[in-house]
Amino acid sequence: MVNQESKGLLVVYTGNGKGKTTAALGMVVRAVGYDWRVCIIQFVKGSWKYGELKGIKRLAPNVELHTVGEGFVGIVDDKKEFNQHQAAAKEGIEMARKIISGGEFPLVILDELSVALKLGLICDEDVVSLLDACPKSNHLVVTGRDAPSWLIERADLVTEMTEVKHPFQAGILAQKGIDW
Ligand code: ATP
Ligand code: MG
Measured between alpha carbons, how far is 18 from 154 in angstroms, rounded to an integer? 23
DSSP-assigned letter for residue 171: T
Closest-CA residue to 141 (of 177, 105, 166): 105
Non-local CB neighbours of 164 within 8 Å, separated by 6+ positions: 17
For 33-92, how does the pLDDT look when each residue is reduced to its tens digit (9 = 90+)? 999 999 999 998 766 778 888 999 999 999 999 988 766 666 555 656 788 889 999 999
Ligand nearest to the CA of 20: 1
Decide: pTM greater than 0.85: yes
Measured between alpha carbons, how far is 45 from 42 in angstroms, rounded to an integer? 7
Please give the biggest Cα pair distance in the chain. Answer: 54
For the chain, the structural domain boundaries read 10-145
pLDDT of residue 4: 66
Q: What percentage of residues in the chain have a pLDDT greater than 70?
A: 89
Is the C-beta atom of 163 inside 6 A of ligand 1?
A: yes
For residue 5, how far is its CA from the centre of ligand 2 (angstroms)? 31
Closest-CA residue to 121 (of 152, 144, 149, 154): 144
Average pLDDT, whole number, for the chain? 91
Q: Give the right CATH number for 10-145 from 3.40.50.300, 3.30.565.10, 3.10.580.10, 3.30.70.3270.
A: 3.40.50.300
pLDDT of residue 68: 86
For 4-23, how does the pLDDT look when each residue is reduced to its tens digit (9 = 90+)? 678 999 999 999 999 999 99
